[in-house]
Amino acid sequence: MATKLVNGTRVTLTSGEETAFESARPGLKAADVKAEASRLILAIAPDWKQRNYIARATELVRKVQTDGSLTTDEQNEETAMKALWAKVNAMRAKSDELEALSPIPADYAAQLAAVANA
């Protein structure tokens, strides 16, 4: 069961109602918002960079567990990774918010870009 924001109220829909809701929505679809959010996320954090960050974060966690601390350079590296990931999460949250609206605002791409450029 999915929830959707309808006229300012969050309602729970059965899968049949969700299908009807999606097909009845004129013009823009949640998939349009998802695609734009994905494009923007991949522009700042391509898949290869995300994989490298995951691997590096694992190394840093292990280092802290083993040695108890990180060097200043490692702390700066971790801070930069956290900042990038916070931006990705902010774009995902904005995408979720926009996808739930009915109708989806025509300026959804600009709203996502504003988060990406913040």
Q: For the residues of the chain, what is the DSSP string, one character each?
A: -EEEEETTEEEEE-HHHHHHHHHHS-S--HHHHHHHHHHHHHHHS-HHHHHHHHHHHHHHHHHHHHHS---HHHHHHHHHHHHHHHHHHHHHHHHHHHHTSSSPPTTHHHHHHHHHT-
pTM for this prediction: 0.71
Q: Tens place of pLDDT for every residue, the chain, 118 residues?
A: 677 766 667 778 787 776 666 554 468 899 999 999 999 999 999 999 999 999 999 999 999 999 999 999 999 999 999 999 999 999 999 999 999 998 899 999 999 999 999 9
88 contacts: CB under 8 Å, gap ≥ 6 = 41, 44, 45
Give 40-60 pLDDT, tens digit per residue. Answer: 999 999 999 999 999 999 999
